[in-house]
Amino acid sequence: MAWHLCQQRLFGPVLISRIDSVSSTASTNDDVAAMARSGAEEGYWLRADRQSGGRGRLGRNWQSPVGNLYASTLIRLRPDDPPAPSLAFVAAVAAHKVLLPLAGERALQLKWPNDLLLDGGKCTGILLERESDVVVLGMGVNLAHAPDIPCRKTASFADVGTVVEPAALMPELASAFAAMLECWRADGLPAILKQWEVRAHSRGAELSVSLGPDEKLVGRFGGLAADGALLLELADGSLREIRAADVEIVRERS
């Protein structure tokens, strides 16, 4: 029931406080964090044509050529909100809803914990950074360019013949995120996780999980725990809960 309510609310009117755009900045996440400290309201978005200091998870460099989308927003946490890290699932589902029509006949798939894959190549990343009761959520979408990253496949929507300007996509993305945020609060995390799973790698997919430079596990995707942790089924049949790791899809379930 909650899942259907989420879907219905997505198409209703959603208030977004403001969307600003700049030609260049070091990091939209840093700028929005500063805005939050100055009292900016939840729902504020900042989009940049380019970033000189964009970053992804674990402080990795996020290449930011003109033509891709780089945007950040802020969420002011409430006492009864679900766990803040689960906002990554909220953003992933919202992004998938908006970007799926751009994929054409190609597969667009969510990958734990916070990536979108286009034909198996990373096309979208999500970064959460928390300061007190504020979460700054950044998103990068490869619309025009797929950066070269060693040992990692990347993709852009231009690769599949879709041309879209970042500024044109921004209102739809902000609205979809606002609707899914409402769902997260009203119906709880389980409703979001259901929507995430139907858009993700299939249960039984073989995954390679890097927990650190010297620890790697291989197993099968067993779904998500109640808090969004990845359940990895190991060769001996046991389940391991993974809450922080780099994950690669080795093989989908045959």
Q: What predicted TM-score, i.e. pTM, was given to this entire model?
A: 0.90
142-167: b or e for each residue (b if 16 or more CB lie within 10 Å)?
Answer: bbbbbbeeeeeebbbbbbbebebebe
pLDDT beyond 60 at 62:
no
**Average pLDDT of the residues of the chain:** 89
pLDDT of residue 25: 95
Element (H, E) at 215: strand 215-224
Torsion angle of C-alpha atoms 174, 126, 66, 109, degrees rounded to 10: -90
Query: Strands 18-25 and 44-51, how do they pair?
Result: parallel
Distance CA 93, CA 197 (A): 9
3 has a pLDDT exceeding 80: no
pLDDT computed for residue 55 by the predictor: 61
Q: How confident is the model at residue 9 (pLDDT cuts 50, 70, 90)?
A: very low
The domains found in the chain, sorted by start residue, are 2-197 (3.30.930.10), 206-251 (2.30.30.100)
Nearest in space to 69 (alpha carbons), one of 170, 155, 147: 170
Distance CA 42, CA 16 (A): 8
The pLDDT value recorded for residue 212 is 81
**Residue range 93-116, pLDDT digits in tens:** 999 999 999 998 899 999 998 899
Omega prior to 82 cis, within 30 of 0: no
Q: What is the DSSP code (8-state) at residue 40?
A: P
Supply the pLDDT for residue 52.
87
